[in-house]
Amino acid sequence: MPTGLYNTFTAVTEDFTRVNGIIAGCGQAALLTILHITKGLPATSDELKAIIVQGINGHQAGVGGESTPSNLIWLAQQYGQIIQTIDFNRLDDYVGQQPIIVGVSNASAFGGSDVGVHGHYITILDKSGRNYVVSDPNTVASQQGNFILYSPGQLAAAQPFWTAIVPLNNGTQTSMLSDTPGTVVQPNPLGLQFSNPFDTLKPVGDFFSQLNKLAEWLGNPLRLLKMLVGIALIVTALLVGFLEKAQENSGAIVNILGAAEGV
């Protein structure tokens, strides 16, 4: 695998690819970025549209290209490409060694053109300092074939829901990007310094991540029923205890009053 990806490969944009009047091919654009690197596919709007249409025809995409992780795994298989799901917490174990697709639930955290966007896919290629070198198909940078930098705080606040690595040929782990600084990587779309305020949003991202996990857990009707029954039993036990205590106190008061009357 050649080094110097900044000069050898380009990011993929979805902004010029409408299918059925809709621009929703970020997942396929993230995949095309991978296939551009591993298989030599051209990083063009025509190629992206062909991939989106292939997914739609295979019932592996919505009418405009909307996709799920399983859709993208299926599409990758059509090109002989393996995609392996990993835990997001292991991201830094692979970054710079293998291309990584990340699906997020709150792309607004990235700022710029992503403000107002919820579900979204990006491709992470490397790190520059503490920040991630990213191909985000919904940015001005990607329209020019350029990568962009996102901080760890932005990535956490974006609420990742799926992370997958794309092993290179024969599992070879070669750094994909040149160490030369300042090539075609564009600045953050918000113009922030990279020790930026978004890092303070990490607890917010963690909070929403936990809420998502709770929602998934509660999505099981049997679990929800068991939880409600458990709450009902706890409330009943507390109420019974309260009533028994109140009755004891009431009896004690009656005894005191009776004793007082007998004096």
Whether the per-residue pLDDT at 183 is higher than 70: the answer is no
Q: 44: closest CA among 85, 73, 68, 10?
A: 10
Q: pTM for the complete prediction?
A: 0.65
Helical packing angle, 26-38 and 45-57, nearest 10°: 120
More confident residue, 85 or 189: 85
256 in a domain, yes or no? no
Q: How confident is the model at residue 184 (pLDDT cuts 50, 70, 90)?
A: very low
The long-range contacts involving 112-121, CB below 8 angstroms and separated by at least 24 positions, are 112/139, 112/140, 112/188, 112/189, 112/190, 113/138, 113/139, 113/140, 113/189, 114/138, 114/139, 114/189, 120/26, 120/158, 121/26, 121/27, 121/29, 121/30, 121/67, 121/72
- pLDDT of 171 > 70? The answer is no
CA-CA distance, 50 to 162, in Å (whole number)?
A: 24
Q: Is residue 261 part of a domain?
A: no
User: CATH number, domain at 124?
Assistant: 3.90.70.10
Whether 210 maps to a domain, the answer reads no
Average pLDDT, the chain: 77
User: Is residue 64 pLDDT above 60, yes or no?
Assistant: yes
Q: What confidence score (pLDDT) does residue 252 get?
A: 56
Question: How far, in whole angstroms, is CA 207 from its chain's centroid?
Answer: 14
* Strand pairing category for 84-86 and 100-104: unpaired
Domain range enclosing 58 = 5-197
Residue 87 forms part of a structural domain: yes
Is 50 or 173 the better-scoring residue by pLDDT? 50
Q: What is the mean pLDDT of residues 87-102?
A: 92
Per-residue model confidence (pLDDT) at position 172: 39
Residue 10 lies in a domain: yes
Q: Is 137 a domain residue?
A: yes
Mean pLDDT of 72-80: 95
pLDDT band with cut points at 50, 70 and 90 for residue 253: low
Domain count, the chain: 1
Tell me what pLDDT residue 230 has: 75
pLDDT tens digits along 96-136: 888 899 999 999 999 999 999 999 999 999 999 999 999 99
| Rounded distance between C-alpha atoms, residue 107 and residue 151, angstroms | 13
Residue type (1 letter), 117? V
As a whole-number percent, the residues of the chain with pLDDT over 70 amount to: 68
pLDDT of residue 243: 78
- Residue 217 pLDDT: 52
User: Buried b / exposed e across 43-69, counting CB within 10 Å, b at 16+?
Assistant: bbbebbbebbbbbbeeebbbebbbbeb
What is residue 3's predicted lDDT score, i.e. its pLDDT?
40
Per-residue pLDDT band for 68 (boundaries 50, 70, 90) equals very high
Average pLDDT over residues 52-72: 94
157 domain residue, yes or no:
yes
Task: Assess if residue 51 is contained within a domain.
Answer: yes
Mean pLDDT of 45-66: 94
